[in-house]
Structure 1
Amino acid sequence: MSEERDTRIAIIGIVVENLSKFYLVNAILHEYSKLFVGRMGIPYKEREISVITLIAEGTNDEISAVTGKLGRVEGVSVKAMLTKVK
């Protein structure tokens, strides 16, 4: 990513409690895939949830857009932590 765009590094945590909505989560992640540097997904079978962590680089608006879309999916919780340094 270009520093000209005023980008930041972010850690995004996603918990998918409604596994029937997993296809929507993946569709959103695919839509914003250019932002992601790394992804780790862990199915937590005992709890019937899935946990995804992402490392992203993007503008505040881009990070907010992806987390906002994910947060509007029923049964999905998402939080982002951004670096202070641009």
Structure 2
Amino acid sequence: MAHPAPHLAADDDLSLLRFTEDLGMASLDFVELIVSMKTHYRIQIPDSGLQEVHTVQDFVVCLKKNRQISWLNLNFYFQ
């Protein structure tokens, strides 16, 4: 399997990666990611909250806004 983003260097800021353009995710892949995160972290994310999610950082911000359990702390991803 080919690397999904071969143009990236090890020290690139991964939070700025775009799901479609940089990671090659199809819309169904993105839906599967959302469903997995909702199930794993027991959170509800309204469809309207996903319309502005284009990058990994957008996704983490969306998760943080919609989290319903106090132990979920995603701050370590973007220090």
Q: TM-score, with normalisation over the residues of structure 2?
A: 0.32
Tell me which of the two structures has the higher relative contact order, counting C-alpha pairs closer than 8 angstroms and 6 or more residues apart: 1
Larger fraction in helix: 2
**Structure with greater strand percent:** 1
